[in-house]
Structure 1
Amino acid sequence: MKLTRRQVLAAFGAATAMSFTSRLAAQGAPITVSALYDLSGGLESYGQPIVDALRFAVEEQNAKGGLLGREIKLNVYDPQSNMQRYAQFARQAALSDKPAVVFAGITSASREVVRPIMRQFNTLYFYANQYEGGVCDRNMFATGVTPGQTVEKLVNYSAKNHGGKVYIVAADYNYGQIIADWVKKYTADNGGEVLGVEFFPMDVTDFKTSISKIQAAKPDYVWSALVGGAHISFYRQWKAAGMLGKIPMSSTTFAGGNEHVILTPEESNGIMVCQNYLQELDNPLNKQFVADFHARFGADYPYITELGVGAYQGFRLWVAGVEKAGTVDRLPVIKALESGISLEAPSGRISIDPKTHHTTMDVHIARVENGGLLPVETFEQQPPADTAMVCDLIANPDDNQQYVIDF
């Protein structure tokens, strides 16, 4: 039987991976990395790309020879979008896996379940999602964007291009409520006006009354901080009401769960977002990353999300910390990361901010267009300025709380 070139390369790759794995196994026990992400229960559109990105990162590192000469093993748990299961699996991972690091949590609620458990069991914790900012905990590193990095940029852009009057719709939990406050602040800074704010539980699917209120208010644009599978209904009902294109929409949550892929172009084109990562970024490292990712998961993979890349980049930062420390032990790795480790990543350069354990990174405003995200404007090397207002872990290493930032 004659093999194609692709089959030959695949067989060679598999043989090479097996060879690496065999050699690594001979050099010591695997290094365990645990991951807790929703693969069911309503937030799976966010969780699955994150887990895929972590698998990719682990496989990539093992193909390079592992870490400190040892194979990395990834253990994945599905909390099913349930906080009790998050608590259960966080304890199980910390006690049974004895991981070198845990990557976990999509919502702020899940983070605040996991974070104290990781601290209790002295297990290093990476939170890779965008969030509302303010967490100050030496045991945690946050590699997603915060409001000062994205919300400010998108509010300014929206006010400049559409006008200062905004109507806010948001998920009814910690993230949505605090993001709404940030939108209010930046709107006021621009001399604008918030015409209305509505919060919706995560399981709400009927937005007709809210859309009628928005139509009556006649804002210059709508800000969406909606989250989860149920809230996709808002965008469909917005289109059905004939509003897409009539009143512009801006969001820092849209596309995080591949909403721009799930919805049709007719339901989503023109929505503006601001993120750290876009699959369309035109730099050599990202082009290679996308090509390799598609080679692993298929050319028809829906879209490599910002949340997935946040986990991938967080993993790369953790690896850099371990390599600098020369050990996977928690405190030496924390100290290594606090030295200000930085690296070139698919989204651009990312660096650990020692005082906050958050990251300095590029952010990009983009427009949803035919299932993709078309870059419009880039802001380079944005620090976590919001969290830096309240957190200094170099001066106060024992700090352990989430601050509500007073602005």
Structure 2
Amino acid sequence: MNVGARFLLEKVNSHIMNIYKKLHLLTVLSGVASGLTAPIIYIFILDKGIDISDLGILITVVSLTMVLFEVPLGLFADRYGKSLTYTLSLIFNVLFSFGVFYFNDFIYLLLCMIFAGLAMSLASGTIEAMLINGIEEQENKSIIVQKNVANLKSARVVGIVIGAVVSLIASIMYLYYPSYFTSFDYMEFGFIAMGAMYIIQMPIALSVKDEPFNRRESTSPTFLSTLSHSIVSVKKDKITRTLMLSTLLFAMGVIAIEKFWQIRLSELIEERSLPWLFSVAFICSSLTSLAGHILSVHICRFFSNNFNSALVGCRLVCGTAYFAIFLSESILMFIICLLVVNFAFSASQSLLSTLLHENIENSRRTTLLSYLSCFNQVGGMIGIAVMALVVSGNNISYVFMASGIVIILSAGFHMNSIFEKNYCPE
């Protein structure tokens, strides 16, 4: 290789690394923004005088907005540029952050939740798609993809932990040094800081250049025809269809931890949790999730990089932990199983994404990730309804039994693929 070619290669590699660093920085900052308010957002809204039933409506509106707009906005990202789409998501997130901070009326808060749903729909899969699209074709690409996805998800969890720690420190300072919060309380500070995190990301997002695929074509199909074609392709492709249905069923099961763990823990300790305890629990679960993302690479190696086998293993562990929560009345056992669920769930995320990335081309990557997120949202909504029915006539612990059954069933979608050629050798 001559000097000119070597210089050009080094320049290209340097440019790619610069983009990778920016994508990971955006992911960390986005995680910080989420971590600042995630432990206290529902408490903050209830403190505005919103009752629990109206809070349920607000939460549902976010999910419904994502279900309606997830796929169309994924197509928008592939068609007009992922960097532009992510920047638009930041604008909606800023409107959400300062709107929830400022408004107390239910109607305005409802509008803010629509903004939140649109923001998540716009951001869904954009950074991950840009990251994976930059990986060149090579023999062990699937292993590299899995490592990159795991690293990206780890970066988000690191940001979430940082944000949650800041939220915890602010809550403790507000408790012992209230004079420092003359203008805002610590929860209001969280939403102001969250909005600032999204504003900081805007110039970084705009500096990441990605080429919309439709600009390479002389004649581009209409948006509706592209949407119709994407739906047909999901229906026809066996692997993609399996991943979507598997995601839907798994989401139905894991929703029990997200929505019911606080209630179950409060039953076991027989006292109302203090606000700062939510931050502590959130940080601990986030750290366990981080371990799951980081160690997912080693889990893949344990299963000889057979991603379906590793995914089935993680889901069986997750389902077993749910059954242990159902059977045990011990606080220690509950905490251990809660951490195991978080670990197994997080470890499985990069495995599922890798199986999807193996099966799609760059021009459809954000769209298919949006489909995956949409099925995840629908599964979560169905799961909430099913678990609410289960708990209506039984003890809350039966929710975890039902979830364990659903999660183990979701592993069945991947059993037939274990012995197929779905792995890459080292």
Q: TM-score range by the shorter chain?
A: under 0.3
Q: Give me the TM-score of the superposition, normalised by structure 1.
A: 0.24
Choose between structure 1 and 2: higher strand proportion: 1
Name the structure where helix makes up a greater proportion of residues. 2
More RCO (CA 8 Å, sep 6+) = 2
TM-score, scaled relative to structure 2: 0.23
